Structure 1
Amino acid sequence: MHMIDVNPTVWDRLLAVRQGRSCTCCGRWSADETGALDLYGPLARRDLGPMVVAQIGQSLDGRIATVTGDARDVSGPDGLAHLHRMRALVDGVVIGVRTALHDTPRLTVRLCEGPNPARIVIDPRGRLPDDAPLLARDGTRRIIVQAVDRPRPDGVEVIRLSDRDGMLDPAGILTALHATGLSSLMIEGGGITISRFLEAGLLTRLQVAIAPLLIGGGPQGLTMPSPTEKLSEAIRPETRAFSLGSDVVFDCALNADALAAREPLHARPARAVRS
């Protein structure tokens, strides 16, 4: 278990890495500061090309809400701070329309310093109302990916894609978002949306934050559209555990790019951003 210390000096360094002005490998750091740089550094880097991380917060028994849908306090205070740090380090945050309608999130950075990410909703049928909180005009990019010809308020970008059985192809969504200049993306919710990107093999890394509570029922964190029937075929990522304080986060590397992001920045040459 790695401990972390996200003090102002560490966080300033991570924001500088995000801006391409620094690295996480130089300097003298304590063990806990190094843990923080190891956890967040891969999200801050932009030298390895496009990156897609998913984050989900859940209880010890794998629930993300109660049977009535109450999900507000699943993550502890340190788990929420972790989520806001992740938002500050990526270019854009993606959620499904059901999460947008049920939770009415703002998707802004409030529990740490840093820029707000672009707010992106996957809304095939155009169900999201125009007065949704995440569409508020505040200078941050707002993007809706939809399959219908529905106009949106001025300033809201619309990506029109073809659907299949009411669903949009995750690969097509990522291709379209990368084409708008968003290289680093976080799939924040809900569990079904994350699972579709995971099963499609499109995630660079997955972070599962566990809070120390037992809910006993309610929706599960991740449910794959086509779950494996054999444990020998299950996804077995290379995983590290970090103590956030109130929560524990498991950082899962899902491909070679995720492992490369753990290497010191100066240990490998930068490569061109892939389209």
Structure 2
Amino acid sequence: MNPNSDVERWMNHALALAARGRGAVEPNPMVGAVVLDAAGNLVGEGWHQKFGGPHAEVFALAAAGERARGGTVVVTLEPCCHWGKTPPCTDAVLRSGARRVVAAMPDPFPRVAGGGVKLLRDAGLDVTVGVCEADARKLNEPYLKLLGTGRPWVHLKWAMTLDGKIATRTGDSKWISGEESRAKVHELRGRVDAVIVGRGTVTADDPLLTARPAGPRIAARVVVTASGELPEGCQLRATARDIPVLVYTAAGNESKLEGWRGDGAEIVGLPASDTGLSPDAVLADLGTRRFTNVLVEGGAGLLGAFLDMKAADEYHVFVAPKLVGGDTSLSPVGGRGVGQMRDALELAECVAEPSGRDVYLHGFAPGAVRSAT
């Protein structure tokens, strides 16, 4: 087989391998690699499996061994050329004797940023960049956004009835969605860095906000309360020493939360306006912590604030085949909203699929998908 042929098929295979690291490698990017021998046969494959562990090229080249000599390394991201938690992947490529490297996209990380490609080319290797680049960028949108903007990728999630309600007129909300939908939410919680709610959700629902069963990540539980008012007793406060709790409040209101601080929560004061805390200010602080994916679960005021500021990137909506009615029953998204239907946010790449008896709608904010490219 000509090693120059069928490279897109091998790149797609490498992208599928890369996706196996979702939730385990952040804030690093997901990366997959395959090694073809001089005849174009697959002789090694690997992916970045966990943060701080070996990179994809190292696994793939180790599997290939001497069969990599004279062959091709197909990798979803430019090989790194710097010492971090692991040695440079360019060193492993050069030691392998491979003569060609095909990368889906350059790595914008400042300590790489084309340096890996230059080093390999200077060593005499044939290097191609840009095969399946759009797919590679889509896979690592959260990584690219964090690097490009200093903000994490924001997922918004809610469950509602067929008539658009998140609770009855008495405030009862357990349960709107079915077991399959709730399992999807727990899976999502298990691969993000933070689950974010507002004061009203803590007061009304007393949530634990953990992933059950546990996923590859343990998300910080984040509460946004400009007023600094929170219940004295609740599950979040009771478990703050076991699983991180982070509370954002208006600067000057931190003293109201000294009891929470004493029980293990971290309290952060931020500048606030008459409308409360800015989602961007919260996201900026989370970005300094290198949080890559965050999940906003409610309530309506917080979801509305993120929507008004166009601060969300990805949407997860579960619609149950139930009707509750009621003029005072709550809707999922509050905030200011838009004045004209033509200004309504229309999700991109939106798909609907069954989730038990519910319908799961999944889509992206227009433009957010490529915001950091």
Q: Which TM-score applies when normalising by structure 1?
A: 0.76
Contact 1:63 1:215 (C-alpha < 8 Å) held by counterparts: yes
**1:91 to 2:196 alignment:** no
Give 2:52's aligned residue: none
Give 1:16's aligned residue: 21
Q: Could you say if the C-alpha distance between residues 195 and 98 of structure 1 is closer, same or farther in structure 2, counting changes exceeding 3 Å?
A: same
Q: Secondary structure at the match of 1:195?
A: helix
Give 2:219's aligned residue: 117
Q: Secondary structure at the match of 2:277?
A: coil
Contact 1:85 1:109 (C-alpha < 8 Å) held by counterparts: yes
Q: Deviations over 1:182-224 (max 9, x none)?
A: 221111111221111011010011211101111112111123x
Aligned equivalent of 2:246, options 143, 149, 154 = 143
Give 1:244's aligned residue: 355
Q: Secondary structure at the match of 1:258?
A: helix
Q: Could you say if the C-alpha distance between residues 247 and 116 of structure 1 is closer, same or farther in structure 2, counting changes exceeding 3 Å?
A: farther
Superposed, 1:46-65 pairs within 5 Å as 46=143, 49=146, 50-65=152-167
Q: Could you say if the C-alpha distance between residues 45 and 163 of structure 1 is closer, same or farther in structure 2, counting changes exceeding 3 Å?
A: closer
Query: Structure 1 residue 163: deviation in Å?
Result: 1.9
Q: Could you say if the C-alpha distance between residues 242 and 258 of structure 1 is closer, same or farther in structure 2, counting changes exceeding 3 Å?
A: farther
Q: Aligned-pair RMSD on alpha carbons? A: 3.0
Query: Structure 1 residue 67: deviation in Å?
Result: 0.2
> Which is further off, 169-178 or 86-95?
169-178
Q: Deviations over 1:137-193 (max 9, x none)?
A: 353221000120322225311110122226111111111121223221111111221
> Which is further off, 226-235 or 63-72?
226-235
Q: Deviations over 1:44-77 (max 9, x none)?
A: 9645532001000000000000000000111111
Superposed, 1:176-191 pairs within 5 Å as 176-191=285-300
Q: Secondary structure at the match of 2:155?
A: strand
Give 1:168's aligned residue: 277
Identity over aligned pairs, percent: 26
Write the distance in 2 (CA, Å) between the matches of 1:47 and 1:178. Answer: 12
Write the distance in 2 (CA, Å) between the matches of 1:117 and 1:251. Answer: 21
Contact 1:15 1:44 (C-alpha < 8 Å) held by counterparts: no
Contact 1:130 1:153 (C-alpha < 8 Å) held by counterparts: no
Q: Secondary structure at the match of 1:18?
A: coil
Query: Structure 1 residue 25: deviation in Å?
Result: 11
Write the distance in 2 (CA, Å) between the matches of 1:25 and 1:244. Answer: 33
Q: Secondary structure at the match of 1:240?
A: strand
- 1:142 partner amino acid: V
Q: Which TM-score applies when normalising by structure 2?
A: 0.57
Write the distance in 2 (CA, Å) between the matches of 1:259 and 1:203. Answer: 13
Query: Structure 1 residue 252: deviation in Å?
Result: 2.1
* Rg comparison, structure with higher value: 2
Q: Could you say if the C-alpha distance between residues 112 and 15 of structure 1 is closer, same or farther in structure 2, counting changes exceeding 3 Å?
A: farther
Gaps of at least 5 residues in structure 1 are: 1-11, 28-40, 261-269
Contact 1:161 1:168 (C-alpha < 8 Å) held by counterparts: yes
Write the distance in 2 (CA, Å) between the matches of 1:166 and 1:201. Answer: 16
> Which is further off, 90-99 or 140-149?
140-149
Give 2:309's aligned residue: 200
Write the distance in 2 (CA, Å) between the matches of 1:242 and 1:43. Answer: 23
> Which is further off, 132-141 or 64-73?
132-141
Write the distance in 2 (CA, Å) between the matches of 1:184 and 1:242. Answer: 23
Q: Could you say if the C-alpha distance between residues 129 and 15 of structure 1 is closer, same or farther in structure 2, counting changes exceeding 3 Å?
A: farther
Write the distance in 2 (CA, Å) between the matches of 1:242 and 1:122. Answer: 32
Contact 1:57 1:211 (C-alpha < 8 Å) held by counterparts: yes
Q: Secondary structure at the match of 2:247?
A: strand
- 2:162 partner amino acid: L
Write the distance in 2 (CA, Å) between the matches of 1:138 and 1:246. Answer: 37
- 1:149 partner amino acid: E
Larger RCO of the pair (alpha carbons < 8 Å, separation 6+):
1
The alignment of Structure 1 onto Structure 2 pairs a total of residues equal to 238
Query: Structure 1 residue 229: deviation in Å?
Result: 2.6
Contact 1:43 1:89 (C-alpha < 8 Å) held by counterparts: no
Q: Secondary structure at the match of 2:276?
A: coil
Contact 1:119 1:142 (C-alpha < 8 Å) held by counterparts: yes
